[in-house]
Amino acid sequence: MSRSLVAWVALPVALAMTLSACGGGGGGSTTEGKEDADGTVSIYGTEPKSTLFPANTTEAGGGKITDALFTRLVGYKAEDGATYNLAAESIDSSDAKVYKIKLKPGQKFHDGTDVDAQSFVDAWNFAAYAPNAQQAGSFMSPIEGYKDVHPADENAKPAKDKMSGLKVVSPTELEVTLSAPNSVFPIMLGYQPFAPLPKAFFADQKAFEAKPIGNGPMKFASRTPNALIKLERFDDYKLEDKVHFKTLDVKIYSSQETAYQDLVAGKLDFMEALPPSAKVGEKYKADLGDQVLNANLLGQSAIALPYYIPAFKDNVKLRQAVSMAINREQITKTVLAGSYVPSDGWVSPGIKGYRKGICGEYCTYNPEKAKQLFKESGFTGKLTIQSNQDGGRKEPLEAACNSIKQALGVECEFVGATNFGAFRQIVDGKQLTGMSRSDWSADYPSIENFLNPLYRTGGSSNDSNYSSPIVDQLLEKADGTANQDEAIKLYQQAEDQIAKDMPSIPTWNEKGIGARSKNLLAAKLTFTRDAELAAFRVKAKS
């Protein structure tokens, strides 16, 4: 993608529409050559933080594995995130409240059992049931009866363990009733918690943890903690996104830099992101040439200011001051080497419902005003930004801290955790002691996915512990609006309220840059910055 920065910001909608025609064929890169249908592909990975249950994996390290192991009802096109049916034959609804879902016949789990309607219902009930404490359980909240299995009060015992909105009609048909009309629901069905689970899961979860059994194009082969996760092609897989290679090695790296060296040397086949060092002076272009992959990303980087920290609570002036003290323009150009663009809102450009400049002057660098607001905020002491320090996360935030320090004249320090798992442990445990990195990568291309998980009370990734009745109400209303355009208007109103409260400070939006090795003939980067497994073609060794 050689678009200028201005064009990128000014024409997000046009970009989204023309993306498939730009930059090496819309996220892909191909070379001519003989193909090896039984080859091995190795991809960059990070150590999964939690069990490899589809509904318990909300971070990228584990998500990469469960994504390959489990197939959902719908899939997303790599280029623009448009949905298409995978396990589902059809998804119909007349009122956006009751969905009739029909499955394609003859689908199998890796252990040979059938993928039927019951396996979906069981999995969704498991995910939603509060005592199971599944990280992504809140994604089930649109389904009727969710409140019975997942009470708002964390300590209350749920009245039921099954959601009333789920009904098995026949082995290949199920009916889902939502608590309110929700036009986004069919898009949501492609997200990982909506994967089916086999009977074996409910029989022995410990065994499943050690050797997950899914219905996806890849099956689990072996795992060496902190080193390698090996997946193999599931030969009985018949759906559209089946793979064209045999073995998938997910190599666990603690540093992107090392992985990049391996990629250039041909010891690693795919990386969905490149380390900052490779981006300095666009070095990767010289290193990799046509092996570079581009994609439109639906990501949003932000800095969260948790409400459970007394100094941050309801101190909007402080939030605004900090935001205005960050020189986004300069940091994206220098430290981030132009691989990001400054952000001006809480929704990523390129998706429907994005409006330019929602954050307005508060996301524009203005040290004088920032200093004045900071004085009025009455904050004393030291600011910190917490994040994992691997994967190129440290440099931009250290730069942000320096920017804050110089603009506000307050001590600011970057506080690093060794890896992403450790960092998420701190965040999920609500043990942050200062500001924290809160980057979000959309699961499905909808404005809803940028707001509900992050800013709704109790949302799965509500890192700042934000809770606003107004936002909750607007989101609830928007979720229940069948008409998509009207729904988007309500979501935008919610974003306006978020802009007023500033639970998190938008920082930048990433431009997707990945790469493949010479061993591959083709690879594709998706809008969620993942490998499109079905697009991998391995070069035959002659």
Q: Residues, the chain, total?
A: 542
Which is nearer to other proteins, 364 or 402 (by Cβ)?
A: 402
Which is nearer to other proteins, 365 or 374 (by Cβ)?
A: 365
Q: H helices within 70-116, ranges in order?
A: none
Among 46, 296, 419, 464, binds other proteins (CB under 8 A): 419
Beta-strand ranges (E) seen in 93-149 are 98-103
Instruction: State the nearest-atom distance from the C-beta of 281 to other proteins, in Å.
Output: 5
Which is nearer to other proteins, 332 or 481 (by Cβ)?
A: 332
Tokens 């798992």 belong to which residue? 421
Alpha-carbon distance of 38 to 47, in angstroms, equals 26
Which one of 89-97, 127-135, 156-164, 273-281 is the stretch in contact with other proteins (CB under 8 A)? 273-281
Q: Tell me if 257 contacts other proteins by CB under 8 A.
A: yes
Q: Name the token pair of 64.
A: 């990469």
Q: Tell me if 422 contacts other proteins by CB under 8 A.
A: yes
Q: Are strands 340-342 and 508-510 parallel, antiparallel or unpaired?
A: antiparallel
Q: Tell me if 408 contacts other proteins by CB under 8 A.
A: no
Q: Tell me if 105 contacts other proteins by CB under 8 A.
A: no
Among 105, 106, 131, 281, binds other proteins (CB under 8 A): 281
Q: Tell me if 432 contacts other proteins by CB under 8 A.
A: no
Q: Name the token pair of 454.
A: 């992050």
Which is nearer to other proteins, 417 or 487 (by Cβ)?
A: 417
Which is nearer to other proteins, 419 or 481 (by Cβ)?
A: 419
Alpha-carbon distance of 385 to 322, in angstroms, equals 11
Torsion sign over Cα 237, 85, 296, 193: negative
Which is nearer to other proteins, 182 or 507 (by Cβ)?
A: 507
Which one of 27-35, 364-372, 405-413, 514-522 is the stretch in contact with other proteins (CB under 8 A)? 405-413
DSSP β-bridge partners for residue 218: 233
Which is nearer to other proteins, 58 or 327 (by Cβ)?
A: 327
Torsion sign over Cα 496, 501, 503, 507: positive
Q: Tell me if 265 contacts other proteins by CB under 8 A.
A: no
Closest CA to 290 of 105, 115, 515, 13: 515
Say how far residue 135 (Cα) sits from the centre of its chain.
13
Segment 320-339, which members bind other proteins (CB under 8 A)?
Answer: 327, 330-331, 334-335
Instruction: State the nearest-atom distance from the C-beta of 271 to other proteins, in Å.
Output: 15
Cβ contacts of 379-382, under 8 Å, gap ≥ 24: 379/311, 379/315, 379/318, 379/410, 381/311, 381/411, 382/410, 382/411, 382/412, 382/413
Cα–Cα distances in angstroms (integers) from residue 388 to residues 58, 125, 216, 224, 394, in the given order: 16, 33, 31, 22, 7
Q: Are strands 270-271 and 302-304 parallel, antiparallel or unpaired?
A: unpaired
Q: Tell me if 239 contacts other proteins by CB under 8 A.
A: no
Instruction: State the nearest-atom distance from the C-beta of 416 to other proteins, in Å.
Output: 7
Alpha-carbon distance of 102 to 89, in angstroms, equals 5
The Cα diameter of the chain in Å comes to 70
Instruction: State the nearest-atom distance from the C-beta of 157 to other proteins, in Å.
Output: 30
Among 5, 22, 168, 426, binds other proteins (CB under 8 A): 426
Instruction: State the nearest-atom distance from the C-beta of 404 to other proteins, in Å.
Output: 11
Contact 187/351 with Cβ under 8 angstroms? no
x/- map, 381-400, other proteins, by CB under 8 A: -----x--x-----x--xx-
Q: Tell me if 472 contacts other proteins by CB under 8 A.
A: no
Which one of 106-114, 351-359, 368-376, 424-432 is the stretch in contact with other proteins (CB under 8 A)? 424-432
Instruction: State the nearest-atom distance from the C-beta of 133 to other proteins, in Å.
Output: 19
Q: Tell me if 226 contacts other proteins by CB under 8 A.
A: no
Closest CA to 192 of 294, 76, 285, 114: 76
Q: Tell me if 277 contacts other proteins by CB under 8 A.
A: yes
Q: Given its phi and psi angles, is residue 275 left (phi above 0), alpha (psi -120 to 50 degrees) or beta? A: beta
Q: Which residues bind other proteins (CB under 8 A)?
A: 257, 275-277, 280-281, 283, 327, 330-331, 334-335, 386, 389, 395, 398-399, 402-403, 405-406, 413-419, 421-423, 425-426, 431
